[in-house]
Amino acid sequence: MLMSDEKDDQASGLRRIVKRRPVRVIAITGGKGGVGKTNVSVNLATAMAVDGKRVMLLDADLGLANVDVLLGLHANYNLAHVISGERSLEEVIVEGPFGLNIIPASSGVKQMTNLTPAEHAGLIRAFSELSHDLDVLFIDTAAGISESVTSYTRAAQEVVVVVCDEPASITDAYALIKVLNRDHGVFRFRILANMAHSTQEGRDLFAKLIKVTDRFLDVTLDFLGTVPYDEYLRKAVQKQRSVVDAYPRSKAAIAFKNLGQRADNWPVPTLAGGHLEFFVERLIQASHSGEVAAL
């Protein structure tokens, strides 16, 4: 297929999307693995679903997906089947607790971590055909600074960077922010301190990061808050449930509920850029920029 034909197909897919109220698109990322990024994604999404919001969680960790595993869900199909053309995106959606809709990715499929620009475009085109009426779309990205991570993150309206009290976490979070800022024009980030032993520890982590970014980058960092270290979170993982669901009175669950309410109070986009179709358009643009770079 010619590139012009491909663009026409994508445009027609976008035109099929019904104009609805704006959707918050929130990317959860972290720079390095092991900071609890997916747990944050699952629990924030669940907290907002409990609060009555229509929430979808896209597992964008292509190749090492585990959102469905964390929630004890059985997904017959995933994004690999969408990319191969075997299933539509609507057909792979799995319903989780409290009406949370999940788009599972594949786990352990190496090819999913090396999608061509055309395959990324096909995935985006499939995404544009979703008919769900949403309030919030969460994107659980992979770790690192791959093209997949930067594409999904820069297309989102809000970028939440998860950090924990490890030197490598701060270093890798800074590297991710630097790439997104200097190479992709992202200027605002919300920082979430995870697995902190106190509120002050969370604020200290934020202070360490902002000290470096203020010196070397033109970005704005907002402190989203702290999720405390909590043994109930580990127990919830063993039960394959979110801590918000399994232990709603635990310290971690209460923190996630507060964070969800805070996110719900973020300004709602009122222009075209606030609609789901604009998120798709930005992903298409990112995909085409990747094609140009590869030529």
205-220: pLDDT as tens digits: 999 999 999 999 999 9
For residue 19, tell me if it sits in a domain.
no
Average pLDDT over residues 41-65: 90
**In terms of pLDDT, which residue wins out, 73 or 108?**
73
Question: Looking at residue 226, what is its pLDDT?
Answer: 97
Looking at the predicted structure, is the pLDDT value of residue 121 above 50? yes
% of the chain with per-residue pLDDT over 70: 77
pLDDT digits (tens, 9 = 90+) for 6-17: 444 444 444 444
- CATH number of the domain that residue 195 is part of: 3.40.50.300
Angle formed at CA 174 by CA 215 and CA 225, multiple of 5 degrees? 95
Tokens 């096909």: give the residue.
122
- Write down how long the chain is: 295
For residue 71, tell me if it sits in a domain.
no
**In terms of pLDDT, which residue wins out, 143 or 163?**
163
Question: Looking at residue 274, what is its pLDDT?
Answer: 43
**In terms of pLDDT, which residue wins out, 235 or 74?**
235
For residue 78, tell me if it sits in a domain.
no
Domain count, the chain: 1
**Which CA distances in Å does 39 have to 81, 241, 271?**
25, 10, 31
Token readout for 239 is 């039960």
**Cβ contacts of residue 88 below 8 Å, gap of 6+?**
82, 126, 129
For residue 131, tell me if it sits in a domain.
no
Q: What is the mean pLDDT of the chain?
A: 82
Which of 75-79, 123-127, 152-156, 215-219 has the largest mean confidence? 215-219
For residue 74, tell me if it sits in a domain.
no
Chain centre to alpha carbon of residue 274: 16
For residue 81, tell me if it sits in a domain.
no
Average pLDDT over residues 269-293: 54
For residue 102, tell me if it sits in a domain.
no
Instruction: Quote the domain boundaries for residue 53.
Output: 24-60+136-294
Looking at the predicted structure, is the pLDDT value of residue 48 above 90? yes
What three-state secondary structure class fits 291?
A: helix
Question: Looking at residue 272, what is its pLDDT?
Answer: 43
For residue 145, tell me if it sits in a domain.
yes
Question: Looking at residue 150, what is its pLDDT?
Answer: 84
Helices (H) and strands (E) in the chain, counts: 13, 8
**Cβ count within 10 A of residue 208:** 16
